[in-house]
Amino acid sequence: MEMPIHGGLVLALCLSVAAVAGMLRLLDRLYGLESRRRHNDITGFMISVIAVIYAILLGFVTFTVWENYDKASAAVDAEVNLVADIHRDAGSLAAGSATAVRAELTGYLATVKDQEWPGQMTGQCPPRRSALSGIAQHLRPASLDTVATAFIGEIVSRLNRLYDARRERLLACNRAIPTPIWISLAVGSLSLIGISLFFGCHDQRVHLALSATLTISIVLVLWVVFELSTPFRGSAAISPDIYKDMLDFLRSS
């Protein structure tokens, strides 16, 4: 049974703090307090260097995943809005053409909501032939005047942008943080936490509190990075409700 993401986060935090407490106790047995205190200067220097390198890497990764998440969300909004715009502009077409175009658009939204989105939630986003491909053949103006022709050009322009938004959504589903970056983040996290344990503090409870706080902060940031790296999965997943709401609106209009 899959554990809820928040339950997994709490478990990861508890295990991390427990591991830090165990490592601190082990270090106290292997290296005496006075021995570690004599090296506090070099330990402080090393942790400063590692913290700067780790902060640069973590900041870069966090910015990248947030940018990708924001692009995915913007692509979803653009996709739905463009469908609504084309549905409205279809009123300038001949009666039969308008009905056909609008049927294609509502069918497209239903396909995304019922077939494509469940796959996205599992990380499977194979390209599919969409209902959009049949719209162009129905673009017949209600009359031959300049206004009707202009609406045809506007529909084609928005249809092309709809294709772009759809591709952006599918690409965002398949984007992932490369394994070497995850390895670098893991090594940097362990190094930063590990070095903090080598400080010599008279009060072990204070030392544990400081190291546990550092560990919790790192785990939380890594959790945010992980959640944002999968825009259609997890607790931060983009919701498909916007497709359902627009589909209901178009069917009732």
- Radius of gyration (Cα) for the chain, nearest Å? 27
Using CA atoms, how far apart are residues 92 and 166, in angstroms rounded to an integer? Answer: 25
- Decide if pLDDT at 124 tops 90: no
Q: Counting beta carbons within 10 angstroms of the beta carbon of residue 119, is it exposed (0 to 12), middle (13 to 18) or buried (19 or more)?
A: middle
- Calculate the average pLDDT of the chain: 86
Q: Tell me the whole-structure pTM to 2 decimals.
A: 0.81
- Our CA angle for 129, 135, 141, nearest 5°, is 170
Contact criterion met (CB below 8 Å) for 176 and 13: no
- pLDDT tens digits, residue range 170-212? 888 878 888 999 999 999 999 999 998 888 787 888 888 999 9
Which residues share a beta bridge with 141? 93
DSSP-derived letter for residue 2 is: P
- pLDDT tens digits, residue range 58-104? 999 999 999 999 999 999 999 999 999 999 988 888 888 888 889 98
Higher pLDDT, 33 or 22: 22
Q: DSSP 3-state helix, strand, coil percentages of the chain (rounded to 5)?
A: 80, 0, 20
